[in-house]
Every structure is written in structure tokens, then in C-alpha cells.
């Protein structure tokens, strides 16, 4: 019979703040029609898009902000 030894490692997840990490971006999306702005690092761009979209579609009153934020697991100590 073969014996095996197992080791476990703790990991912690959090926002990826490394310089090479993907940049945080945001976009606005119209809830009634599903159309959205381009994802941008400038969070104010989405609100400008929503204003223009509302002017073209007066009945579209509900919007959501979608935020793309990279996360990464950091390995901890072996146990």
C-alpha cells in the first residue's frame, strides 16, 4: 500500500493591486434595452453616455453601472 502526505495552503483573495494587473473599468448599461457604453477607466464617461442615451430614448429611465475590478488570490503559509 502506498502512503501519501498532504499539505494544505491558505489563500487570501483581494483586489489585484500589482502594476501589471488589469485596470479597473466601469460602464453604464440601460436596463430597459440592455445597450451600454464602452468600458472605460474614466468613470464619468458612463454618466455622459447615459445622458445622451436618455435624450434619444426618453422612456429609458433605469441604468446600472458595471464595474470590472480584477481580483487575485495570494498564497499564504503551508500548513
In the predicted structure, residue 2 carries a pLDDT above the cut 90: no
- Quick check: 66 and 27 in contact, CB under 8 A? yes
- Per the domain annotation, does 76 fall within a domain? no
Domain that holds residue 45: 25-70
Q: pTM of this prediction?
A: 0.69
pLDDT category, 5, cuts 50, 70, 90?
A: confident
Q: Does 53 reside within a domain?
A: yes
In a domain, 29, yes or no: yes
| 78 assigned to some structural domain | no
Query: What integer pLDDT is reported at residue 37 of this predicted model?
Result: 92
User: Which value, to the nearest 10 degrees, does the dihedral of the CA atoms of residues 25, 28, 31, 34 take?
Assistant: -80
Predicted pLDDT of residue 46: 77
How buried is 49 (Cβ within 10 angstroms: 0-12 exposed, 13-18 middle, 19+ buried)? buried
* 13 inside domain: no
Q: Is residue 59 part of a domain?
A: yes
pLDDT in tens, 10-68: 999 999 999 999 999 999 999 999 999 999 888 777 788 999 999 999 999 999 999 99
Amino acid at each position: 500500500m502506498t502512503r501519501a502526505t498532504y499539505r494544505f495552503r491558505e489563500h487570501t483573495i483581494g483586489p489585484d493591486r500589482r502594476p501589471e494587473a488589469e485596470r479597473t473599468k466601469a460602464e453604464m448599461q440601460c436596463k430597459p434595452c440592455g445597450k451600454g457604453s464602452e468600458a472605460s477607466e474614466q468613470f464619468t464617461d458612463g454618466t455622459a453616455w447615459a445622458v445622451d442615451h436618455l435624450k434619444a430614448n426618453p422612456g429609458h429611465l433605469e441604468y446600472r453601472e458595471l464595474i470590472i475590478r480584477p481580483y487575485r488570490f495570494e498564497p499564504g503559509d503551508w500548513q
